Amino acid sequence: MEIGFIGLGKMGMNMVTRLRQGHHRVVVFDRQQDLVRQAEGTGAIGAASLEDLVSKLVKPCAVWVMVPSGKPTEDTLHTLADLLEADDVVIDGGNTRFSDDVRRAEELKRQRIHYVDAGTSGGIWGLQIGYCLMIGGERDVVNRLKPVFTTLAPEDGWAHVGGHGAGHYVKMVHNGIEYSMMQGYAEGFELMSKSEYHLDLAKVADLWMHGSVVRSWLLELAAGALKNDPRLDNLKGYVQDSGEGRWMLMDALDKDVPVPTLSTALFTRFRSRQTESFSEKLLAALRNAFGGHGVRRT
């Protein structure tokens, strides 16, 4: 099959490589032309602009957008809307909020351009093991793209989960669960790191990968990290969030669904990015004020 691909970052480049390994014709564009040249090394066809990319595709065409969420995706889609024609398809594989998918699909529908949202999980390991794809959009359009999804995903690793926005909605919940799982591992391993038993944490993580009910790919990654740096001395405890946890929390609030584990995991990430917490300073000030408890002053 033929497909256009926009965005050759750490996931995009690997996805293009996997598509080429599956013998698809892939036309690529990225603002960094050195990345385009790198993709050409896999057999992809480079484009100098979005206009150039679309001109090299046979109609009706499909274009996969894999750029950062928010304005970069919005700007790319607006430009594509002026370049594409009726019955062409845009696939958004980035971390987009599901409500934006619904709006974009409706906007593109006025021009008879199809929109598919593809929640994509697999990270930098997807090249080797494949990407789990959660697909939202019109069923007949999704079926048209089956060869691409089948190449990118492992066996049974993609599914059409519903209409516009459903793919990114399922991916949002997936990432919220991921936050919670990571937080659980982090808390457990911190406790073990302070144990009087002087545990080999990498050995414990590896042990749990064999028959334990808490085994997972995340635990496998934890074992690898701990083998390379047992006390994680080369890392700072600074943890970013990409947005899906916030979106899931807001959706849960709208639906009156309690998600305490996600809330804790998300707020812990916020705290990790503070060198000094104002709230904790105020706690110290209040204890000192009402009880004369000691404080540490700058």
Active centre residues (catalytic): 171, 178
Q: How many CB atoms lie within 10 A of CB 84?
A: 26
Per-residue three-class SS string for the chain: CEEEEECCCCCHHHHHHHHHHCCCEEEEECCCHHHHHHHHCCCCEECCCHHHHHHCCCCCCEEEECCCCCHHHHHHHHHHHHHCCCCCEEEECCCCCHHHHHHHHHHHHCCCCEEEEEEEECHHHHHHHCCEEEEECCHHHHHHCHHHHHHHCCCCCEEEEECCCHHHHHHHHHHHHHHHHHHHHHHHHHHHHCCCCCCCHHHHHHHHCCCCCCCCHHHHHHHHHHHHCCCCCCCCCCCCCCCHHHHHHHHHHHCCCCCHHHHHHHHHHHHHCCCCCHHHHHHHHHHHHHHCCCCCCC
